[in-house]
Structure 1
Amino acid sequence: MTIISFRLNENLFLKDPQNSELGQNIIRSSISLIDEIGFEHFTFKKLADKIESTEASVYRYFENKHRLLVYLIDWYWTWMDYKMDFAMQNLLTPEDRLRAGLKVIIEEKKPDPNFAFVDEQALQRIVMSEFDKTYLTKQVDLDNKEGLFIPYKTVCNKLACEIKKVNPAYQHPHTLISTIMLSANHQVFYAKHLPSLTDINGEKQVTYQKLYEFCEAIIFNSIK
């Protein structure tokens, strides 16, 4: 049962899937299916078959599969924002808060008992492989005007603000953080699928630790 419910942009959905058993099943099963077959091959018909329902029932929640993907990605970044707040709240220095926030973003995700209908590990894999598809589109400007990328921008801004506290004279905090966040996703993807493009590889835990050390070094060497 869901203990916490996130308030996501109402432009993403026709009916909030968090508020019903069918909606939560749509989210759970869409994560599983996209993780299994990829977004290119994902359809509402295949999702309907998986949940043993109809395409019409899925369309009552989402206008199309692109909006569903953006919903999943926005949920992920809202969850990251939520976890960052907990990780950073009792730390006194901006350096420590920056490191804690960065670790939340980069670390391998674990199941969160507050959200029984979300497989956070599978969703992290979707973010790594499909995130770029949410904004590398012809309708990106319209989607941006509708606020569809606010959760991602919120996370970027939160870390950029800590950079400005560490070094108020540094002129590129948002550029640095957005580059690091995309790079983190790409490097783990490379380690799994295109290993000759990265030195961040090895066992899972080693990969994420190496990636954190790499990103931390880039950030602190840049701002200091």
Structure 2
Amino acid sequence: MESLPIHITINPELYTKNPESSDLGKKIVQTSIEMINDLGFESFTFRKLGVAIGSNESSIYRYFESKHALLVYLINWYWSWIEYKLVFATTNITSAKDKLNIAITLFTQEVKEDNSFTFINEILLNKIIISESVKAYHTKDIDEENKKGFYKTYKRVVQRVSDMVLEINPKFEFPHMLISTVIEGAHHQRYFSQHLPSLTDVEEGKNNVVRFYTDLVQKTIV
């Protein structure tokens, strides 16, 4: 049975024209994910993207004012997708501990492609989140972008899971710090496992990243 298409809503501040409104817009997003993954964000340009999709560079600027805006859009799409999966996976779960374990697993496990979205490759997008997303946050405009709600979805996901922590232990002082550390730390461990393996303990087939962070959270919030 085929999955029904699911629509992810993105803050309109993040684009000039909604890329999901046309085949060209979807192609821009799809191909940019492939190219950023292959080239790295620094080497990726709208000129190269235009050549790859057989379109003028100016047509891309009708959707995104800069490649930074495109990266922020991709980050928001990713966290909106994660939020959808989190809500779906925990809706009928009554145990706060079980909900938290599901959330930690979702944050730390290897990503599989979701066929609900035909123009987004979630596996490649996850690789971009791991290796490139920090470049969206570490800019001089971060405070202004934050005021505009550019990172609202990511913060909302962290809040959802922080609330699970507090449901288990209402006196725990650092729920947001813990959850954001788990997310960013798991990304670092996935990156290290591919490029700097001596900095991690990831082993093929042992799911060590998920096991480590699940254990860490459980022991920390007691």
Distance 1:94 1:2 in 2: 29
Distance 1:124 1:15 in 2: 24
- Listed as ranges, the matches of 1:160-171 within 5 Å are 160-171=162-173
Say whether 1:35 aligns with 2:37.
yes
- Listed as ranges, the matches of 1:81-120 within 5 Å are 81-120=83-122
Distance 1:177 1:107 in 2: 15
Tell me the secondary structure at the aligned position of residue 140 of structure 2: coil
Deviation at 1:101, TM superposition (A): 1.2
Deviation at 1:108, TM superposition (A): 1.4
Distance 1:159 1:94 in 2: 10
- Listed as ranges, the matches of 1:5-24 within 5 Å are 5-24=7-26
Distance 2:163 2:64 in 1: 34
Contact 1:87 1:104 in 2 (8 A): no
Distance 1:185 1:133 in 2: 14
Counterpart in 1 of 2:211? 213
Contact 1:13 1:63 in 2 (8 A): yes
Tell me the secondary structure at the aligned position of residue 130 of structure 2: helix
Counterpart in 1 of 2:203? 202
Counterpart in 1 of 2:174? 172
Give, as a single letter, the amino acid of the residue that structure 1 aligns with 2:74.
Answer: L
TM-score normalised by L of structure 2? 0.96
- Listed as ranges, the matches of 1:30-179 within 5 Å are 30-179=32-181
Give, as a single letter, the amino acid of the residue that structure 2 aligns with 1:59.
Answer: Y
Deviation at 1:202, TM superposition (A): 2.6
Unaligned runs of 5+ in 1: none
Percent sequence identity is 41
Tell me the secondary structure at the aligned position of residue 158 of structure 1: helix
Unaligned runs of 5+ in 2: none
Q: CA RMSD in A?
A: 1.2
Distance 1:76 1:181 in 2: 13
Deviation at 1:90, TM superposition (A): 1.2
Aligned residues: 220
Distance 1:176 1:27 in 2: 32
TM-score normalised by L of structure 1? 0.96
Tell me the secondary structure at the aligned position of residue 169 of structure 1: coil
Deviation at 1:104, TM superposition (A): 1.4
Q: Cα deviation per residue 1:172-223 (whole Å; 9 max; x = unaligned)?
A: 0001101111001001000100111111x232x43xx210111111111110
Tell me the secondary structure at the aligned position of residue 139 of structure 2: coil
